Amino acid sequence: MSLLDNISLQQSFPLCNYGTGTLYDLVTGKYRGGSNDRWILNGGIVNMIQGIQGKGNMFKSTIAAGLVVNSMAHYPGSEAIVVDTENSLIRDLERVANFAPHANTKDIVSRITPLSGIQYDIGEFHKFMVELCVAKEKHKKDYIIESPFINPLTMKPEKAWVPTYVVLDSITEMRSSSETKFLNDKGIDDEKARVLAMNDGLKKTILLSSLRKMCETHGICVFVTAATGKVNDMSSRTPQPKYLQHSRSGEKPKRVGANFETLTGTLSQAMSASFMSMDSKGEVPRYPHGKTPGKDVNEVSLVIQRGKTMLSGGSVPFVVSQEHGILNSVTNFNYCKTNGYFGMAEKSHNCKLHLSPKQNITRTNVRELMGASYELRRALEITAELCFIQQTWSPSAGSPLTIHPEKLFDRLTKSSTKMEDLLNTTGVWTYDKKADRKYMSTLDIVELVEDKK
């Protein structure tokens, strides 16, 4: 008998990560035991507040929106609210929906609700979110699903919400109605105008604190972008301390409230962005596709500065396009290539994946080939995941995750597993009972040759 047996407890759902199909899932998650004796990758977008900060032109909005729409593609019934203070996303929702290149664009657009940051200030947005939670609670039976994660105490599948995504871009530029009223009534030169920043930060702190509870109780996944800037301290000549352990010295987010770093469950920073070009002027794209502008494709290092679900300090070198969003297959290809041509049979202009050795892949045809073949994308995805795990995780000696793709392919071809079937699986879990593809994580795949499945 437990002391808690006779105490009324309010049951809550555990934190649940909704996959994106990118390396972000690995830097934010881990494998958990699941139904049907599967290993489920519990990584990606969690029902908490995720923050992405950085200077201008660091693709913060593109990465946040790209992760969200790629996740939406795997979870039917999920919806997204985009609060755009800079009018960079909601002006062309079809472009944003195309950030998930292999999904139904019209379906994704139909599930996005755009809100103008001009009309929805801090107060109006909070009111909207309260109404959203009330509506979700009222129709709870329609929005609760059975996840593939097994509760270790009850040994039954855990319940989870159909996710609702919120992209707040950006909280730095979000304003309150009282600030607008003051400036309209008193003007910018009024002596009391200096306290506006203090009140602005206080209201944003209250907003984020309220949002955090909504996230955890109603399956809402919030992405907040913020601008960073230099810390100005004219009284000291010594180097400014770091805002967080994995941030740059003397930099911090602007106009986000006093407790931004503690109210965000995962806080990352776009540290650098560089043209992926073949010439010094950035005019010849390294990874072209049609008439790709030379400076459209960039590599952005997204560093996890603080994570409540995984270790801090990890990073993802995303390859992104202003027009097309996160180029996931190019990210995977570039990551393997820059890590010693990991999982590739040819270390030259023409590359061949060990898991799909019939096709020559080059920097000039990778986008076209990956766009045309699901099996090739999946082979590259598995290869990149193994590379990322071996480069950044700490798998114990003898772990199946330390296997090299060449040995994995050799063992798989000698087993009863058909490579065609394996490469038509998906690595993102879903509650979609009509899903075309069977779920199989990278850990499941490597355990096939360890005689553990």
At 105-126, the pLDDT tens digits run 999 999 999 988 778 888 888 9
One domain for residues 266 and 342: no
One domain for residues 367 and 453: yes
What's the pLDDT at 9?
Answer: 47
Q: What is the rounded average pLDDT for all residues in the chain? A: 84
At 42-55, the pLDDT tens digits run 999 999 999 998 88
Residue 244 lies in a domain: yes
Q: What percent of the chain has pLDDT over 70?
A: 83
Residue 318 lies in a domain: yes
One domain for residues 395 and 375: yes
One domain for residues 194 and 258: yes
Alpha carbon 238 to chain centroid distance?
Answer: 36
The pTM of the whole model exceeds 0.85 = yes
Residue 399 lies in a domain: yes
One domain for residues 178 and 292: yes
What values do phi and psi take at 213, rounded to 5? -70, -40
Q: How far apart are CA 201 and CA 186, in angstroms?
A: 20
C-alpha dihedral (259, 262, 264, 270), degrees to nearest 10: 90
Q: Of 326, 360, 394, at which residue does a domain stop?
A: 326
One domain for residues 156 and 206: yes
Q: How confident is the model at residue 224 (pLDDT cuts 50, 70, 90)?
A: very high
Residue 162 lies in a domain: yes
Q: Of 262, 295, 326, at which residue does a domain stop?
A: 326
One domain for residues 256 and 336: no
CATH number at residue 33: 3.40.50.300
Q: How many domains does the chain have?
A: 2
Residue 9 lies in a domain: no
Residue 31 lies in a domain: yes
Structure tokens at 170: 């950006």
One domain for residues 315 and 376: no
One domain for residues 335 and 322: no
One domain for residues 179 and 157: yes
What values do phi and psi take at 4, rounded to 5? -90, -5
Q: Of 310, 326, 342, at which residue does a domain stop?
A: 326
One domain for residues 376 and 442: yes
Residue 220 lies in a domain: yes
What's the pLDDT at 66?
Answer: 95
One domain for residues 159 and 274: yes
Residue 117's domain comprises 17-326
Q: How far apart are CA 326 and CA 364, in angstroms?
A: 18
Range picked from 182-191, 210-219, 227-236, 289-298 for highest mean pLDDT:
210-219
Residue 336 lies in a domain: yes
